[in-house]
Structure 1
Amino acid sequence: MSELLQRPRTGTRIRVAVTFDDGYFDNIDVAMPILRQYGIPITWFVATDFIDNADLVPWWDLIDLTLAECYEPVEFTVDGIKGIYDPTVVADRQWLNTRLRMILKSTGLLQRDAIIEDMRYAISRQYTLPTNSYAREEEIKSVLQGGDIELGGHTGSHPNVALCSSDELKAEINRGKIRLEKISGQSLNWFAYPFGGRGAFSPSAAKAVQEAGFNGACSLVSGTVSMKTEKYMIPRYAISPNMTMETFKARVLGAPLYAGLESLRSSISMSSVRKYGKGFVG
């Protein structure tokens, strides 16, 4: 990230920065040996609460465990998700895999944590919860010795920062930053908004990131980087696990085309906002 954003561009070749979010161990175990083989540096955005507490399983992994390991109905008791859901029934699986994810992405911290605790209890009645799959402090320290990995902030508990209060924003952003700087012994320059799509960051979040001392912040809104790019809304292209090599090549090499289409879509959306007066959270 630092090399891409702080060095002036020369020539017409496409320049690419590779980033990973969250802090899973498979980033070290699977991805990094391949990237090092080809001399590709990365920026690694790590949510620190999960590396410090192995028993803290992220809610998206809890959903996956429910779908994979629970063969009897699970009962949730917290308002907003209250009900009995059978993972073996198609309609209930769809609710768990789509609606529940949307609820948790669009829920404030207190309600989110209540739902997570309710999920943990319901799942644990059928299945012994494993430790999470995040890297641990010593593993992160070890991999940083290669000098080709730049750590970036990603909060403590991976909330939707657009829904956080001012105090929650400061606590989440600073907790993650301080912890990673202690692990690495270096100042952090970059931040990535958890989830990162439209509705997962806001002007107040961008201000909090800047006040915490970061040079910029990444979203997951598609787009290319230019001299006009807003430093606290840097676009990125998401690469999904089920993407074929052909699709991956098209996504990377066709980035300028994707950026043009995204710009056109945004222009159309803003035109509708001006015409009909509808607001949105960016």
Structure 2
Amino acid sequence: MTSKTLPPHGTISRRKHHGCKCWDCCEALRAYSNARYAAMAAGTWQPFVDAEPVRQHILRLQGIGVTPNRIKILTGLPLRTITGFLEASHYPSNVRCRKRNTRREVAEKIMGIPVDADLAFLVDATGTRRRIQALAAIGWPQKQLAQRLGLNHKHVSHIMRRGQILNRTASAVTAAYEELRNGSAEKFGVSKIGANRARARATANRWAPPKYWAKYPDAIDDPHFTPEYGMTKPQRLAEEAVWMVTVAGVPRTEAATRLGLTFGEVDDALARNDMRKAA
């Protein structure tokens, strides 16, 4: 059985809905009531505002990886309040439509969150994965790299298979990459045997080294960019065909004609791409 987390002391919700009679909670309700009565007397009492701008702001935040749970932490609002802007809520004996109006103070708290990717819990893992691969290409085994990052080496392996990772993990890997990318792993204490094994693995998987990414500084974090490091011409054409069909929306027959490939070669490239995604 799990216990419900109560709102903090000094909030109207704790006083009205949970019966707390401490000084801070009573004072919060008293101050709110006084402000409400004064505004009503002055004819300026407008507690509700349109919820649509708030919903659009939440969607923009979600677009950069700021989840409703993260918004809950940043604003101190209940999760059901935040998700109510996005969809109808279904609770026992309490079904609510998506919010059309909301209290001004709720809107101000949510709208006050900047659209900043650094606030996100989760970010795309592409750049982090490529940085780990690039460090492997200059001799960094995942175990030693994990120790330097303060992570379990199994966690580094998990990063290589995930679509999204924690923002703080991505930032830590980026900082380590900037520190280590200009030298070999042996200079930092990695054994020659371990470094050679890491390089061999990187070569077998065609992982691009830091020197390659230095030529494309904006591409390392771009999930739509396909590195061509170590590829033969047929392999490059196959990757180009996959991009044209899956990203640009070009029909496979047209992609084959443009690239000088057979329909079967394009189908094989698409099949291999599906297998990589499923792995």
| Larger Rg computed on CA atoms | 2
> Higher relative CO (CA 8 A, sep ≥ 6), structure 1 or 2?
1
Higher helix content, 1 or 2: 2
Q: TM over 0.5: same fold?
A: no
TM-score, normalised via structure 2 length: 0.21
